[in-house]
Structure 1
Amino acid sequence: MKKSILAIAAVITLAFTSCTSDGGPSKPKSSFELKIDDLKGNIADGTVTLDASQTYTLSGALIVKSGATLTIPAGTTIKSSTTADATSMYIAVERGATININGEANNPVIMTSGKASPAESDWGGLIICGDAKVNTGDNGTSEVGGLAYGGNNNADSSGKINFLRIEYTGSKFSPTKEYNGVSFFGVGSGTEVSNIYAFESGDDGVEFFGGAVNASNIAIVNAYDDSLDFADGYQGTITNVYISGVSKAGIEGSNNGDNDIAEPLTNAKLINVSIVKGADAKFTASEQAINFKEGGGKHTYTNLFVSGIDTFAKLDSGTGATARIDAGDFKVNGKTFVSTSNLTTDYVAAETGAGNGATLPTWATKISKNN
């Protein structure tokens, strides 16, 4: 009997320590039931890996719960349902969960509308929540999805996003409650973010709510609120940003809507940026190239190119924002911003921006709509 028990124990041990063909430990399977034509539900455990040869239909909320992982390989396409309510369809990653979007140059992961004639706000978008610092509190609740975010681990990792094209997002519950293309809530610097192309978002294209995640190669085309937004004590560097089709602000940078001097102060560094108003009359850039809002925080722009917008910034008149400007914390292309001199020509000269001035840069074409 003892030998039999030992034999069974050996088999169980072998099963739990088995390796993949590359010599690493095997990934734990998940109890999640993956349906190609009905992608929704909670991934509560293990790892779920999508199949790049399939086109998935997102029919509701797909939520990666804490401790679980969703992996999306290069070339995978996810389309929103044509019949489900637009506000019910989104992909969210809880604090403590992981998403790995493993797109490649010229072979991105695509998240888009399933409608024959797609338009902005056809579905929600992508929401990622982390454990990094936010100046609104350590346990906030995301505007949409109702997920907890924020903490004290600025090095937290939520996984990675590489080469993602995300389209026709931004569905609305109300004028003040709506999805963005990609929303980062308290996401830490251990998360890898590069090569995102956000197209036709009904609200902001990409937004950072606090956190310390860095990002590179971000293209935002036709956003119907602000294009790029950061707030709530965001601490990070965003390199290579191309924005075209500006409805409100090209970039909106805030500190805190309830306490404009809350700490940690937003401290954003943006390098190689093009902001292009867009030729269509519907793109009015009504809040200018930069909206320095709700205390503003600290902004540093290097190699910033602006086209089609005459007035450079919209300025919060509160004492928090005024103090930051007076302290020299709003810097543009090597100059300290002065509110009495607010024309684009005062700050933008021969810069090249994201690569080609007003033209879509080469790096963005690898993930663009025309790819």
Structure 2
Amino acid sequence: MKTFKNLLIAITVISIFSCSSDDDNRTIDPGNGGDNPITGNELKGDLSEDAKLLASVEYTLTGSFTVKSGATLTIEPGTVIKAKSGRTDIFLAVERGAKIIAKGTAANPIKFTSDASSPKAGDWGGIVIAGKAKSNKGTDVQSEVAGLLYGGSDDADNSGELSYIIAEYTGAKINGEQEFNGISFFGVGNGTVVNNIVVSNGNDDGIEFFGGSVNVTNVYCANIADDMFDWTGGYTGTITNAFGVRNDGFDAATDDPRGIEGDSNSSDANAAPISTPTLKNVTILNLNPDVALKAGAEIRRGTQAIISNILFAAYGNASFGNRIDTKDDKGNGTLTISNASAQGNVGDDKVGGDITGTVTAITDGISVPSDNTVNTKAGVGADLSAFDWANQSFVVTKLN
């Protein structure tokens, strides 16, 4: 049984990185002359040649920073990038045909955060990656943020690697229809490596897939205003070991926050490729009695999803509106579910499309002993020990 502790609602993440006074003011020149997007510790502009960010420099993202097609951005383990807060044009983007190699380690993760003295959800945009994998929106589609083209026919496309990454205080809102997610994958192929990801305190979705086939292992979304895990546009990848939690006291919320939102195509539910993702070992947990999740999993608009070993849980007075919802006026979804458990007030299923499999009510998936720590039963839902490296933790602050 694994125990996690979070004082109040804060998500505390410790990034350990080395410092060298000799390198503190080092300029990394990617070789594009006077229009250098990496000058000293400032990141802004278009990167057209290969470059590396060093752990010995604390960087500030002061505008849009785009890795152009043909270029590779490498980020050393332990690097910290602080985004200038309060603007909607602060984000890291990787074009179709470009690569990002951000390989942190458990001891030295790579951290993207806000530069605000009192950071909050929505302080900056987020990370946006485009690729050449299939989308049912087309082959040259413009991303809803960052203005990148994505899509193609290469499901094995490789946009690089994201490993041991922390992205926090993301989700800047551009207008009523456009908001950044923590990390957005637009047509990203399964040649891309993505594992050990933490997104926390986001003002829109935690992680979202727009088509593509990229696989993700060990992803933790904590305190997300909208959907923790989201896909649309024909996503066909696999998500393994996913934990989503809304902490007591995190009250930033859209009108319909969910644990999982799965779409295929809102204009044509039969558009190919249909979203057919597979999810394995998932926990959706609500600890906040003041914000109900609209659904634990909303599978709709043509999506055909397979989910195995999932726990839907709400502690104390926290709740879900629906546990599973496959009904939608723009097209129902279908879900095959196995080894599914539910604990607490997680609502009933709203069936439109078929749901194959059953959800079993249990009492021992989540427990709260006298010290207010939250315990999870081994083998039920996500394996939270996979996130020990990030020092993520939480407690319940409003006990019954």
Q: Tell me the TM-score range normalised by the shorter chain.
A: 0.7 to 0.9
User: How far, CA to CA, are the matches of 1:29 and 1:62 in structure 2?
Assistant: 13
Once the 2 structures are TM-superposed, how far is the Cα of residue 334 of structure 1 from its aligned partner?
5.6
1:151-230 superposed matches below 5 A: 151-230=152-231
The match for 1:53 among 56, 77, 84 is 56
Counterpart for residue 251 of structure 1: 260
1:77-88 superposed matches below 5 A: 77-82=80-85, 85-88=86-89
1:47-196 superposed matches below 5 A: 47-82=50-85, 85-196=86-197
Secondary structure, aligned partner of 1:174: coil
Sort the Cα spacing of 1:359 and 1:270 in 2 relative to 1 into closer, same or farther, 3 A.
Answer: closer
Query: 2:293 matched to 1:285?
Result: yes
Query: 2:311 matched to 1:302?
Result: no
Once the 2 structures are TM-superposed, how far is the Cα of residue 105 of structure 1 from its aligned partner?
0.7
Q: Deviations over 1:222-261 (max 9, x none)?
A: 1101110011100111000000018511000001011111
User: How far, CA to CA, are the matches of 1:319 and 1:177 in structure 2?
Assistant: 20
CA contact (8 A) 2:296 2:323 kept: yes
Q: Deviations over 1:159-188 (max 9, x none)?
A: 000000000000001121100000000000
Sort the Cα spacing of 1:367 and 1:60 in 2 relative to 1 into closer, same or farther, 3 A.
Answer: same
Sort the Cα spacing of 1:341 and 1:33 in 2 relative to 1 into closer, same or farther, 3 A.
Answer: closer
Counterpart for residue 9 of structure 1: none
CA contact (8 A) 1:36 1:55 kept: no
Query: 2:52 matched to 1:43?
Result: no
User: How far, CA to CA, are the matches of 2:383 and 2:336 in structure 1?
Assistant: 25
User: How far, CA to CA, are the matches of 1:179 and 1:362 in structure 2?
Assistant: 29
Q: Output the amino acid matched with 2:328.
A: S
Secondary structure, aligned partner of 1:124: coil
Sort the Cα spacing of 1:265 and 1:359 in 2 relative to 1 into closer, same or farther, 3 A.
Answer: closer
Query: 2:328 matched to 1:317?
Result: yes
CA contact (8 A) 2:151 2:212 kept: yes
Q: Output the amino acid matched with 1:199.
A: S
Q: Output the amino acid matched with 1:63.
A: T
CA contact (8 A) 1:240 1:354 kept: no
Counterpart for residue 336 of structure 2: 331
CA contact (8 A) 1:196 1:367 kept: no
User: How far, CA to CA, are the matches of 1:119 and 1:316 in structure 2?
Assistant: 34
CA contact (8 A) 1:55 1:78 kept: yes
RMSD: 2.8
Once the 2 structures are TM-superposed, how far is the Cα of residue 70 of structure 1 from its aligned partner?
0.5
Sort the Cα spacing of 1:357 and 1:114 in 2 relative to 1 into closer, same or farther, 3 A.
Answer: farther
Once the 2 structures are TM-superposed, how far is the Cα of residue 318 of structure 1 from its aligned partner?
3.7
Q: Deviations over 1:52-87 (max 9, x none)?
A: 0111011000100000010111100000124xx521
Sort the Cα spacing of 1:276 and 1:147 in 2 relative to 1 into closer, same or farther, 3 A.
Answer: same
TM-score between both structures, scaled by the size of structure 2: 0.77
CA contact (8 A) 1:272 1:355 kept: no
Of structures 1 and 2, the one scoring higher in RCO (CA 8 A, sep 6+) is 2
Once the 2 structures are TM-superposed, how far is the Cα of residue 294 of structure 1 from its aligned partner?
2.1
**Range moving further from structure 2, 54-63 or 242-251:** 242-251
The match for 2:272 among 263, 280, 291 is 263
| More helix, by proportion | 1
User: How far, CA to CA, are the matches of 2:377 and 2:69 in structure 1?
Assistant: 36
CA contact (8 A) 1:107 1:367 kept: no
Report % sequence identity. Answer: 36
5+ unaligned residues in a row in structure 2: which ranges?
1-28, 248-252, 341-348, 366-375, 394-400
5+ unaligned residues in a row in structure 1: which ranges?
1-27
Counterpart for residue 396 of structure 2: none
Once the 2 structures are TM-superposed, how far is the Cα of residue 280 of structure 1 from its aligned partner?
5.2
CA contact (8 A) 2:182 2:206 kept: yes
Sort the Cα spacing of 1:267 and 1:113 in 2 relative to 1 into closer, same or farther, 3 A.
Answer: same
